[in-house]
Structure 1
Amino acid sequence: MSCFSDSPMPEDFPNFLHNSKFLEYFRIFAKKFDLLKYIQFQTTILSVRKHPDFLSSGQWVVVTERNGKEQSAVFDAVMVYSGHHIVPNIPLDSFPGIQKFKGQYFHSRQYKHPEGFERKHILVIGMGNSASDIAIELSKKAAQVFISTRHGSWILRRISEDGYPWDMVYHTQFSSMLRNVLPRKVVKWMTEQQMNRWFNHENYGLIPQNKYLMKEPVLNDDLPSRILYVAIKVKSRVKELTETSAIFEDGTVEEDINVIVFATGYTVSFSFLEDHLVKVENNKVLLYKYMFPPHLEKSTLVCIGLIQPLGSIFPTVELQARWITRIFKGLCTLLSERTTMADIIKRNGKRIDLFGESQSQILQTNYVDYLDELALEIGAKPDLLSLLFKDPKLAMKLYFGPCNSYQYRLVGPGQWKGARSATFTQKQQILKPLKTRSLKTSSTFLVSFLLKFLGLLTVVAAFFFQIQWF
């Protein structure tokens, strides 16, 4: 689900990749499209500023440093790809007594491995994916790990129905449509039921403070079991720190704390840009569709990846780039500043209603809706209704199957002739790395066929019964 739309992952790759495998995939992709010649490595961007002739040209002067030497170059457009994991955020002012703490403390970005933390009492502050992963890894070495959360979180397994990856089941056009048309109360109730199906979050001290917000869940298969046998203890918000202990909001105290890991997120920053180019207020960025500064006279500066979708980031940024490059080439146009500002305000209000105002949710967006929105701008979104008559098998696959990146290469500019085949073989792609043991299985085709046939007869019978009744 994380592959680019015209480059499926190698068939022997696992469904959830180690970072080394992602790097290998990027290298394969770069080699396939001969991209390395365009990349300048080991280079620092010092500044990006408007060209003196910007009003007519829309160009930018980019100053870089490499091997101690500065260089300046002029570009027709600039795409800022630095994302939102930029400057580590350690809000020390929110933790009275941190100055007195005698142990070690650092941001989660500095954590690399569990060696050196043996027999320690460790406090992890935060409840995101990084906090959970670090707490679990440390709990296998440390004497005790505590994880402090202000708001709690839903914990979701990577494995969903029939053992398929969760995002294949959750991210479909059909399920997205249901979440959009059903009353919010119903959607919230369904979400709570779904999240508590694996284990009751209240029993584990994890239930979100505002459980009805559509917050990004923590994806973790191990956290509940580590809590179950107390290798990890869940604590409330830290109220105060002493030289060797932590006092929590509920009045409890944990003594002999040796290490504190701040998994407290990041601050959005663009040190190489002039302050007025991309406005950041309270870590909120004013961008049209999370990309375009609305006040620029020429739309030749854009941010990519400054978003947190409830799905993979890679298909998201790929569609962003496809739309942006068409705008740069004059094949697509943007609306007026007034219209884009109205869209930003409306979108922000909707985001707060769905996801809340916490720092971790500032860039949150619905995955399938946003992909479709971008694809429509490009002309790459399949028309499922017309496809239902031309290629019904494909239409059903696109609507009820996983919303993968391939479907945005079926039509429009940049079509890929392998998109249809990749869509139909995705299940085999998923199962291939799992089939490491040969099994002799009995054929269930006849039983399956009979069940489907009986089901069809039942539906037909019910239909005619209704006609006779009315």
Structure 2
Amino acid sequence: MHVAIIGAGASGLCSARHALASNLKVTLFEQAAELGGTWVYTDNVGTDEYGMPVHTSMYKGLRTNLPKEMMGFPDFPVPEDQCSYVPQKKILNFLDLYAQHFGVKEHIKYFQHVKTVRTLEDKWEIVSMDVRTKIEASYTFDAVMVCNGHYNTPNIPNLKGIKNFKGLQEHSHNYRDPNVFENKTVLVIGAGPSGLDLAIQISQKADKVYLSHHIQDSMTTVFPEKIVQVPDVALVHENEVEFSDKSVHHVDIIFYCTGYNYSFPFLSEECGITVDDNYIKPLYKHIVNINYPTMGFVGIPFYVCTFHMFDLQARFFIATLNGTLQLPNKEDMQKDTDEEMAARWARGYTKRQAHLMGPAQEKYYADLASMANLKPIPPVMIKLHKESMRRLMEDFLNYRNDVYRIVDENNFVRLDSAMGSTCQCRCQALVA
């Protein structure tokens, strides 16, 4: 069986690693010149030197917002050192080591822009273009794993009155460093991990930063004086913004940290996959294309134990390909999916939260592992994820000083703050 994998980021690399381990033939398509996906940094924004869209959202100075202890793979942890929250380059180097260790590198086709994926009865046709020469080539595969990530197509809200705004607008996807904000008054919309991180970076150069969000009791972080928290935007004027509490402030730049949209422009309509306000359907267990079960998606759920989940999802889907897991029929897969989504809607989830795990992640991992007779994600990873998210909201300015160590499959420890302070200095030197 020959498997096509689209994207050589973390999810694509671990998908290739497990496909190869199951003696499947693998071709991995990557548009960039190197592996790593969103962990690759480039000064380019918009389009690259070949006129292709820049997919990475990586910016200077980024350190992980999850501890490295939970960002490794079950069979290949991030190398042990003092820091838990490490610079981007360390994760990129780690992914390179992972690909090299498991023999994935020689299966990657670089500079390949996947143009179309379509069904050929019980096969798949992929047409890709070499971005350097613009020469197209067609390939036939038995299965497809879609691993193109979901941090490349910006989601920009339609603010009331935004057409009147005379200042600059930008999305965090195109952020590289804070210099463009020097001596400006900036409105940052969104207080997820990247919104908080970038608001603090921008405040180092800007005169003032207004941070607009609707997070209430869960965030207790004390921000620098330059950052003023404001509620949701109500109305945008030419040079001012009015908020839901009726306050009005002058703004030079509106900076969107409002997330991303799932996007699969290469999938032909006949693949049967639709995206409705970030709700991808029809997917069984957030992975399998119910219409064509030899197509799987790895890495769709969010608020998860990232690399560990990629690994589990890849192993689950590959079990359906190598015959160790027999999927239910189409009707039963659809019924199971409908029941899961009905429960999500009943809990108040929106379509944009269709693939949100968070509190549901432990059950999700256990379900996948049980069905495919796989080793599950250790409980300690889920506990550490919850703890790191709690600390992020509690003390965003200092949570990356925390240093964790895994004790066993159920327990972790957080080490003393002195070690964390030393680690902070080391990591600041690494990203400088």
Fold conserved (TM > 0.5)? yes
* Number of residue pairs matched by the alignment: 325
- Counterpart of 2:195 in 1: which secondary structure? helix
Per-residue deviation at 1:99? Answer: 2.2
SS of residue paired to 2:180: coil
- Equivalent-residue separation in structure 2 for 1:59 and 1:289 (angstroms): 22
Structure 1 residue aligned with 2:181:
117
Between 1 and 2, higher relative CO (CA 8 Å, sep ≥ 6) is seen in: 1
Question: Pick from 28, 31, 37: which aligns with 2:100?
Answer: 31
Equivalent residue number for residue 309 of structure 2: 316
Judged with a 3 Å threshold, the aligned counterparts in structure 2 of structure 1 residues 281 and 59 are, in CA distance, closer, same or farther, namely same
2:348, 2:408 → 1: CA distance?
31
> Once the 2 structures are TM-superposed, how far is the Cα of residue 402 of structure 1 from its aligned partner?
4.5
Distance 1:15 1:77 in 2: 37
Indicate if the aligned counterparts of 1:127 and 1:152 stay in contact, CA closer than 8 A.
Answer: no
Contact 1:355 1:364 survives alignment (8 Å): no
Distance 2:421 2:160 in 1: 53
In the alignment, which of 338, 343, 352 is matched to residue 350 of structure 1?
Answer: 343
Whole-Å Cα distance in 2 between the matches of residues 367 and 38 of structure 1? 32
Inter-CA distance 325–358: structure 2 relative to 1 (3 Å threshold): closer
Map of 1:376-395 to 2, 5 A cutoff?
376-381=370-375
Structure with the higher fraction of residues in strand conformation: 2
CA RMSD of aligned residues (A): 2.9
**One-letter identity of the residue aligned with 1:373:** D
Shift in Å, 1:231: 2.0
Query: 1:247-303 deviations in whole A, cap 9, x for unaligned?
Result: 112211002x1111012222222111112421222321121100112223xx21111
Give the corresponding residue for 2:354.
Answer: 362
The structure having more radius of gyration, on CA atoms, is 1
Check if 1:275 corresponds to 2:291. Answer: no
Per-residue deviation, 1:78: 0.3
Matched, 1:225 2:289: no
* Aligned CA distance change for structure 1 residues 404 and 63 (closer, same or farther; 3 Å): farther
**CA shift in 2, pair 1:21/1:404, >3 Å:** farther
Flag the 1:233–1:280 CA change in 2: closer, same or farther, 3 A.
same
| Cα distance in 2 between the residues matched to 1:108 and 1:252 | 25
The alpha carbon displacement at 1:434 in A equals: 4.2
8 Å contact kept, 2:305–2:381:
no
CA distance in 2, matches of 1:135, 1:358: 27
What is the aligned partner in structure 2 of residue 83 from structure 1?
149
Separation of aligned partners in 1, 2:412 and 2:218 = 27
For 1:435 and 1:268, the matched residues in 2 are separated by: 36
Q: Distance in 2 between matches of 1:312 and 1:128?
A: 16
Q: Is the CA contact (8 Å cut-off) linking 1:351 and 1:364 kept in structure 2? A: no
Deviation at 1:10, TM superposition (A): 0.8
Give the TM-score of the pair, scaled to structure 2: 0.69
Alignment check: 8 A CA contact 1:127 1:153 kept? no
CA 1:426–1:20: 2 relative to 1, 3 Å: farther
Match of 1:465 in 2: none
Matches within 5 A, 1:8-19: 8-12=77-81, 14-19=83-88
Task: Measure how far apart 1:423 and its partner are.
Answer: 4.0
Which residue in 2 is equivalent to 1:130?
194
> Is residue 104 from structure 1 mapped to residue 171 from structure 2 by the alignment?
no
Q: How does 1:156-305 map to 2 (within 5 A)?
A: 199=220, 224-226=221-223, 230-255=225-250, 257-276=251-270, 277-286=272-281, 287-296=283-292, 299-305=293-299
Query: Is the 8 Å Cα contact of residues 11 and 429 (structure 1) preserved in structure 2?
Result: no
Runs of 4+ in 1 over 6 A off after TM superposition: 428-431
Residue type of the alignment partner of 1:20: K
Q: Normalized against structure 1, the TM-score is what?
A: 0.64
Q: 1:403 to 1:149 in 2, by over 3 A?
A: closer
Q: Aligned-pair distance for 1:84? A: 2.6
Q: Within 2, Cα distance between the matches of 1:358 and 1:251? A: 29
Aligned equivalent of 1:145:
209
